[in-house]
Amino acid sequence: MTSPASGHCGAIAAGCLASVISLTALNRLLHAYDAPQTVGDVVRLCQDGKLTSDNFKWLGPRRRSEIEVGLVLAGFG
């Protein structure tokens, strides 16, 4: 996967989303039991509709929207 915003190719650590989403949203993603390891994992979760409080504790509609917008801002939309 290539990010037009950064010019990077390959696996980009999910923690790199810290520049486009709040630490609160990022921590809710990264501290889950089956946490996404890469930005690509987060994109797939978003596309599959799995960014829910069922899969991520305390991840409500506001944080989910924040993550979706962050992905678009980072060039993954």
Length of the chain: 77
Per-residue pLDDT reduced to its tens digit, 16-47: 999 999 999 999 999 998 899 999 999 999 99
pLDDT of residue 10: 63
Alpha helix stretches (DSSP H) within 19-60:
23-30, 39-47
Entry pTM? 0.83
